[in-house]
Amino acid sequence: MNILLEPLNFEFMRNAMIMGILLGILCAVVGSYMIVQQMSMMGDMIAHSVMAGLPVAVFLRFPLSVGALVAGVVSAVVLSGIEAKSRLKLDAVMALIFSLFLATGTTLVTVLPGANRIDVMHILFGDILGVTQGNLKETFGITLIIVIGVWLFYKELLFYTFDPIGAQADGMGVRWYYLGMVTAISLTVVASMQTVGVLLVIAMLVAPGTTAYLLVKELHQMMILGSFLGAFASIAGMYLSYYLDIPSGSAIVLVAFGFFLLAFLFSPSHGILTQSKFVKDMNQ
């Protein structure tokens, strides 16, 4: 029992675990839609594109989160425009936008006055142990807005997710739903910058959702189970980080991938080992 309680004596550990739970829920909800819409690499592109907005935010004396959000949404809008107006494949356009925004960010850091104060390593790799009450309030607000939005528009999002052509034919504003999706991804990246960092946020967006995808069939079940898995991975990763003295963000991602590996091997309906056993029993 002392092993579980000792880390909780420190305020920074309590804050980190609360942040981990919030991000576990947020990443699973947003990530589930990304996975079923095959937008996982979109999340990776946005996660790196936010770098372009950080030096601009510092120069204009805006919060870093505002600059990151604007850059993430703009990168997705530019991606959609290029894809719609050219014969280029989606992956090629993503690579182009990814490189452009990342190069823009690293250039502006050295050019704009005051932008060199940005701790690039902190943004890339995160520091969940350094979260403040302000970070917690911001992340709680983002999580609450997205969860309520999904709850209110669940049926429409479900229709748009699995049949975008049919949704457009039915008169739905699919462009607005696309914009809402990329805004949700950008907000999730903004919330995760303080914890796992932009380089590892894609793992938290994808790992809990893909694990749940192997275990359940319905989208709402995928989001709920993914939320539990993401929150538990965050807490377990924090304990591993505390006792093994390893980076907290990396520990969280490793635990999340461990859950995925277990589901990949032992899922009743999709597991490699369980399916092999099932086939063997059938042959007998």
32 neighbors 222 (Cβ within 8 angstroms): yes
Q: Which two tokens stand for residue 109?
A: 């850091």
Question: CB–CB of 237/218 below 8 Å?
Answer: no
Quote the tokens at residue 194: 């303080």
Q: Which residues contact 274 (CB under 8 A, 6 or more apart)?
A: 265, 266, 267, 268
* Cβ 189 vs Cβ 198: under 8 Å: yes
Can you list the domains of the chain with their CATH numbers?
2-197 (1.10.3470.10)
Taking the C-alpha atoms of residue 92 and residue 96, their distance in angstroms, rounded to an integer, is 6
Query: Which parts of the chain are beta strand (E)?
Result: none
What's the whole-model pTM score? 0.85
Which is nearest to 39 in space by CA: 186, 138, 172?
Answer: 186
Q: Are 219 and 144 in contact (CB under 8 A)?
A: no
Q: Determine the pLDDT at residue 173.
A: 80
Distance of alpha carbon 28 from alpha carbon 282, whole angstroms: 36
As given in the structure block, the two tokens for residue 66 are: 């505002």
- Which pLDDT score is estimated for 276? 62
| Rounded Cα–Cα distance for residues 69 and 217 (Å) | 32
What are the C-alpha distances in Å from 227 to residues 29, 30, 90, 143?
7, 10, 29, 11
Count helices and strands in the chain by DSSP H and E runs = 15, 0
Region of 170 on the Ramachandran plot (φ > 0 left; ψ -120 to 50 alpha; else beta):
alpha
CA angle at residue 262 from 257 to 203, to 5 degrees? 15
The 10s digit of each residue's pLDDT in 157-186 is 888 877 777 887 888 888 888 888 888 888
Residue 37, helix vs strand vs coil: coil
**Phi-psi group of 163: left, alpha or beta (phi > 0 → left; psi -120 to 50 → alpha; rest → beta):** beta
Q: For position 63, what pLDDT does the model report? A: 86
Residue numbers in the chain where pLDDT is lower than 70: 1, 194, 276-284
CB–CB of 250/256 below 8 Å? no
